[in-house]
């Protein structure tokens, strides 16, 4: 979110505001209140007190957010958008998002409002089409549009709804890798982009944009009413892997020791990129994973899904450890949102499907007939991952309905298929040893078939429906799964 601000310019506006508080636009004031609300929220989540005189963080967060919303309404933002309107709306959405423990349809609706306002103001077309826009303004618009593309992708995928933005209608370029000091509001041209090895404030948005572009293509494909050919799936797989391989080293998670050698902010960015990549792999291949149980032509999808799901559960365990008291991310608990919870539950579902396809008599390092492709995880390792992830869900269920639902579903899974396993007993040493394994850098090159048949569907309506689906892993309707898991019983306050 910070990427859409030019710190020197904002500081200048802020200083001018205190010189003459009456001479300020309502959108800018809405933006200021929104920033203050997020700042107070961070104190609330880290369980710290605000400086004396401000009051309780929860009350201050709500008050500033309310003032931000009031300023937006008074500015007639929906009919007369102006300078700082889009930024203020995005901050308002961010405030709604971080305050809600579970997915909310209202967040998606507000995101759609922001996107349509931005399109009305021409953000979806590159500023080179508008001679009246300065190079500085053009670059800031590119930054904002890049963030809106990513927000559309994440909120739409979470709810299983079509993307709002169709990229065929857009030509806004990616922002350049520049420090704020490189940008001059009065410059007649922009400086050249810095190498991506330089860690600027915008580099995270740039490289995430490449992953997001691949994921948007994947999400459009799996949401289509037409079944993709195997060649189309593999083309998207290649695009995603190339985007992941292009990540600069300073934004990669290389080993568990990263948690103690880098700043919390950089650690969160590394996790975000890795979680997005692994989720995209799951979403691309999950529809065809179940077919692989009977048809080895789809083994690649099975392997990728299991590998990506296990990677997600590894990251969930590490993050859960780091947000505890004394952990590197304790002050940044807001990092775990309903988006990440949705990804982790998807991973758990995939692991359970894989476990259900095996029998206790199967050897740990299973090779599929005629494929020469080993499944890298044993049955015990996958059960251990599910046991550990349930501890995380149990901890979060006190404040999140989605987490409680996930914990209950995992309980059904473990009780149904592993009744002899003591899945309610923590296994700290075994789990710690397991999660010390090297993090996967991507799928290997495997052989594949020539086509992917359509998956046969079967409804999933809750815990018992989930068990029924797992009993017949070839009959899984992932669309109904998405709809079920994204359902929220609570309306959002506007």
The DSSP secondary structure of 132-170, one letter per residue, reads TS-HHHHHHHHHHHHHHHHHHHHHHHHHT---S--GGG-
Positive or negative torsion for Cα 106, 112, 113, 114: positive
Residue 299 burial (CB < 10 Å; 0-12/13-18/19+)?
A: buried
User: How many C-beta atoms surround the C-beta of residue 163 within 10 A?
Assistant: 17
Q: How far is CA 401 from the centre of its chain?
A: 19
Distance CA 137, CA 374 (A): 52
Distance CA 173, CA 141 (A): 10
Do 352 and 315 contact (CB within 8 A), yes or no? no
* SS3 category, 191: coil
* SS3 category, 382: helix
Which residues contact residue 197 at a Cβ distance below 8 angstroms, ignoring those fewer than 6 apart? 248, 249, 250
> Residue 420: what pLDDT?
54
CA dihedral 265, 155, 105, 164 (to 10 degrees): 140
Positive or negative torsion for Cα 48, 52, 58, 63: negative
Do 227 and 451 contact (CB within 8 A), yes or no? no
Structural domain boundaries in the chain? 253-363+375-419
Do 3 and 147 contact (CB within 8 A), yes or no? yes
Predicted model pTM: 0.82
DSSP H stretches of helix in 246-263: 258-261
Give kind and range of the element (H or E) at residue 346: helix 338-357
Enter the tokens of residue 279: 């989720």
Enter the tokens of residue 206: 């740039």
Distance CA 87, CA 69 (A): 13
CA dihedral 292, 296, 301, 305 (to 10 degrees): 60
Distance CA 110, CA 492 (A): 11
In total, the chain counts a number of residues equal to 494
**pLDDT digit of tens for each residue in the chain (494 aa)?**
778 899 999 999 999 999 999 999 999 999 999 999 999 998 888 888 898 888 999 999 999 999 999 999 999 999 999 999 999 999 999 999 888 777 788 899 999 999 999 999 999 999 989 999 999 999 999 999 999 999 999 889 888 889 999 989 999 999 999 999 999 999 999 999 999 999 999 999 999 999 999 999 999 998 888 878 778 989 999 999 999 999 999 999 877 666 677 888 999 999 999 999 999 999 999 888 877 787 788 889 999 999 999 999 999 989 888 888 888 888 887 677 777 888 898 999 899 888 888 754 454 444 444 444 556 788 888 988 998 888 888 888 877 788 888 888 888 877 766 665 444 444 333 334 433 433 333 333 343 333 333 333 333 333 333 334 334 444 345 555 555 545 544 343 43
* SS3 category, 302: helix
Place of tokens 């923590």: 426
Helices and strands per DSSP (H, E), number in the chain: 17, 0
> Residue 453: what pLDDT?
35
Place of tokens 């190339």: 242
């Amino acid at each position: 979110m910070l990427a859409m601000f030019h710190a020197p310019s904002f500081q200048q506006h802020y200083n001018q505001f205190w010189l003459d508080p009456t001479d300020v636009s309502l959108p800018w004031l809405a933006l200021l209140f929104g920033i203050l609300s997020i700042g107070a929220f961070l104190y609330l989540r880290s369980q710290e007190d605000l400086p004396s005189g401000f009051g309780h963080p929860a009350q201050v967060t709500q008050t500033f957010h309310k003032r931000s919303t009031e300023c937006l309404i008074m500015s007639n933002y929906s009919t007369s958008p102006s300078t700082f309107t889009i930024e203020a709306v995005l901050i308002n959405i961010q405030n709604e998002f971080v305050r809600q423990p579970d997915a909310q349809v209202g967040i998606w609706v507000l995101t759609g409002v922001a996107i349509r306002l931005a399109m009305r103001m021409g953000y979806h077309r590159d500023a080179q089409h508008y001679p009246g826009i300065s190079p500085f303004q053009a670059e800031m618009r590119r930054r904002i549009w890049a963030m809106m593309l990513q927000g559309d992708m994440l909120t739409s995928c979470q709810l299983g709804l079509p993307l709002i933005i169709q990229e065929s209608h857009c030509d806004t370029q990616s922002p350049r890798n520049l420090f704020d000091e490189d940008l001059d509001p009065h410059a007649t041209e922009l400086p050249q982009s810095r190498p991506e090895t330089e860690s600027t404030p915008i580099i995270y948005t740039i490289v995430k944009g490449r992953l997001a572009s691949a994921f948007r293509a994947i999400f459009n494909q799996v949401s289509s009413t037409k079944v993709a050919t195997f060649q189309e799936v593999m083309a998207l797989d290649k695009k995603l892997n190339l985007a992941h391989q292009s990540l600069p080293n300073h934004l990669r998670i290389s080993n568990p020791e990263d948690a103690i050698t880098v700043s919390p902010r950089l650690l969160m960015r590394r996790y975000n990129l890795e979680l997005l990549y692994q989720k995209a792999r799951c979403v691309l291949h999950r529809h065809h994973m179940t077919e692989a149980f009977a048809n080895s032509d789809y083994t690649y999808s099975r392997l990728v899904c299991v590998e990506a799901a296990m990677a997600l559960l590894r990251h969930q365990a590490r993050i859960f450890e780091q947000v505890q008291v004394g952990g590197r991310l304790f002050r940044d608990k807001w990092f775990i949102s309903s988006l990440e919870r949705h990804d982790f539950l998807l991973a758990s579902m995939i692991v359970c499907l894989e476990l259900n396809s095996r029998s206790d008599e199967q050897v740990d390092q299973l090779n599929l007939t005629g494929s020469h492709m080993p499944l890298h995880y044993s049955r015990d390792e996958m059960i251990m991952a599910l046991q550990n992830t349930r501890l995380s869900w149990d901890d979060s269920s006190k404040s999140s309905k989605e987490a409680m639902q996930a914990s209950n579903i995992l309980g059904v899974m473990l009780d149904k298929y592993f009744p002899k396993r003591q899945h309610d007993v923590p296994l700290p040493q075994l789990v710690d040893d397991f999660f010390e394994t090297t993090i996967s850098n991507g799928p290997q090159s495997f052989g594949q078939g020539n086509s992917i048949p359509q998956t046969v569907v079967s409804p999933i309506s809750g815990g018992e429906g989930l068990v029924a689906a797992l009993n017949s892993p070839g009959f899984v309707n992932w669309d109904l799964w998405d709809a079920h898991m994204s359902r929220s019983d609570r309306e959002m306050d506007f």
